[in-house]
Structure 1
């Protein structure tokens, strides 16, 4: 852990007031290092930090509707790539077809997030049913396939050359980490044994981005048993959601769920209102100077994001302030229910991320960068 230079201090007027009660509107922006796990500062501006008039260049914020991407291919390791760098890949895969070959990623651990659908996953360790909202962690080198029950959509996150683990509670706000007892493991059950046969089966192996194929005269998912402390595991966002009770602190809106060397995966879960009023506070602008931020919106109405709907994703590179859209500050939006139903997956990458520019133009919301332009007149 870096020995940051920390000099706690306060200067000038540090009371944000959006209703003009202090005689001057101030807009709060948090500047943070190391994914806000390092030192941070709250700066109070006279004008909205995201109230730009124009935005030019490759740093611009991006938004995508991943559900518009075409279905397929048959091999999930070749699914549509969305973001990438030397230490991670993010792909999006839509399928309604039973896999007739196995997949094995030799480039790193694979984390699947099930956005839509349900079905069964078969792997070296057995049979694992899945549903929407599940994370499925596939350790590097695991052979697997799925049998969807209808159309399924998956977000696939690869920790290239690395492995996913759990966050250190000492680095998580509130010291809350994932309880390993909440994970579900595959089982060698009747369904797993029933899929074993003596037909020819292929394993498609991805290594350094290239696919190699092994062919067997039988199904390689033929385990009779296993033991040890390495396994495929499953966790649903519903297992992270918490409810407040009288006398308890409000649970966090975002749980850091999985970490690798240069990235973290967090889950935004339904959040109760804050304070005695039970109202949800509009989040402030922020500048996260050490990470690129990608958010996939899984379900619900997104309080701070206006026209962003479930199935969409936003990408905010580090280097510019961003935050709630102006509509979040309108009176009708402040009177929100005491509990939200927002569920999202956030990826913070310490290494610069690249957008795969082969994404079809119809899947990107080109005007997203303009959604903050009238910030000052709206707030």
Structure 2
């Protein structure tokens, strides 16, 4: 997590009698790694344990999608034309997972309706990138207004729901372990270093407590071990009057990311924004390009033989290739070379600046392609580097 935050009413001393409006509050501690890692304490009007019903949630579940391992036996570069994905609705209805492994997943969603439930992912932290749209992310720790270009990070097991003001297209990355700010960006006591690509002021925790009527009640849908369970209560179980701690959801605008440049080309890890166990999330943002008089700003043709590469193209003219529309996703598996279109390599010489915006996920264990992704695949993509036939 980022640092210590506080919102609303909290006790002067943890785990002591605490009254609010003449009634005793319940302390709800949310912790990681048992009681040995980051935590926050929520002060609630009652403990969130008064369930009256729980059962398996019947749904076309997007979280353990069908994937065909045989589809990966053909080692090739792939392009998923995600703009043709038309399914929309609330989070569960519009979400599609495209690539999966044991550490992370990559997917998309087209939110056009507000959720009528709160959702809790108890398997993974979730990172949403808003490529289009705006609205409100409601969490039990408070509300965050979101807009185009925002990342929304929701820690594991924090219930939330989306209230889009207009259609919101999103890239989604699930990270199952140690997902967040890379350790190399921190001092020993946790403060972000001065040479990190962002600072504490760039991360926005909830600005106000959850705004729902005292009499409103919403079920909680929980994902655990890739199974959905719906939990119902006599009244809404998260009537939070305040909280403090290091464990909280946040927004971060990709436009606040501070890129680094060099006299000659640097590897893509220099663009890292977030990381998890066996994967990284990187930002390619508008920036000055390499400034050596003989620099080739375009990336190398390369063979990252231990790393799969996923790129979500957001906007601009991407330096290394053409023929991919905004919001499409390319997938370049380890084991075979990939790189820029031949003429793009030469055309980049002398370029001083790029307006490209893209999100990249590099994984250090193989990704599997889901059936949802195969429906969106451009079958000719692997051959588009052949100069006479490229897009």
Q: Among residues 120, 131, 137, which one is paired with 2:136 in the alignment?
A: 120
CA distance in 2, matches of 1:66, 1:308: 11
Please state if 1:369 is matched with 2:382.
Answer: yes
CA distance in 1, matches of 2:252, 2:265: 19
In structure 1, C-alpha distance between the alignment counterparts of 2:309 and 2:125, rounded to whole Å? 20
Match of 1:84 in 2: 100
Correspondent of 2:205 among 182, 185, 188: 185
3-state SS, counterpart of residue 287 of structure 2: coil
Residues 124 and 142 in structure 1, CA contact (< 8 A), matched pair in contact too? yes
**Structure 1 residues 227, 134: closer, same or farther in 2, change over 3 A?**
same
- Superposition pairs of residues 59-98 of structure 1, within 5 angstroms: 59-72=75-88, 74-76=90-92, 79-98=95-114
User: 1:1-379, aligned counterparts within 5 Å?
Assistant: 58-72=74-88, 74-76=90-92, 79-160=95-176, 162-169=177-184, 176-189=196-209, 192-193=210-211, 195-242=212-259, 254-275=270-291, 281-329=297-345, 331=347, 336=351, 338-359=352-373, 361=375, 363-374=376-387
| Unaligned runs of at least 5 residues, structure 1 | 1-55
Give TM-score, length-normalised by structure 2. 0.72
Contact 2:197 2:259 in 1 (8 A): no
Deviation at 1:261, TM superposition (A): 1.2
* Contact 2:75-2:333 at 8 Å conserved across structures: yes
User: Are the structure 2 counterparts of residues 77 and 185 from structure 1 closer, same or farther at C-alpha, using a change threshold of 3 Å?
Assistant: farther
After superposition, what is the alpha-carbon deviation per residue over 1:82-133, rounded to whole angstroms, capped at 9, x for unaligned?
0001221222110111111111001111111111111111102101001111
Structure 1 contact 109–164 (Cα < 8 Å) conserved: yes
Q: Measure, in 2, the Cα distance between the counterparts of 1:149 and 1:73.
A: 13
Question: How far did 1:158 drift?
Answer: 0.9
Secondary structure at the aligned position of 1:107 is classed as coil
* Residue 180 (structure 1) shift: 3.3
Shift of 1:280: 6.6
Superposed displacement of residue 166, structure 1: 1.5
Q: How much does 1:251 deviate?
A: 11
Aligned residues of 2:108 and 2:171 also touching (Cα < 8 A): yes
| 1:311-346 C-alpha deviation (Å, 9 max, x unpaired) | 111101111111101241465x6565x321111111
User: Counterparts of 1:227 and 1:278 in 2: how far apart (Å)?
Assistant: 53
| Count of aligned residue pairs for this structure pair | 310
Does the C-alpha gap of structure 1 residues 196 and 90 become closer, same or farther in structure 2, counting only changes over 3 Å?
farther
Distance in 2 (CA, whole Å) between partners of 1:298 and 1:288 is: 23
Offset of 1:240 from its aligned partner? 0.6
Unaligned runs of 5+ in 2: 1-71, 187-193
Contact 2:197–2:257, Cα closer than 8 Å, also in 1: no
- Find the counterpart in structure 1 of residue 48 from structure 2: none
Find the aligned partners of 1:351 and 1:360 in 2 and give their Cα distance: 20
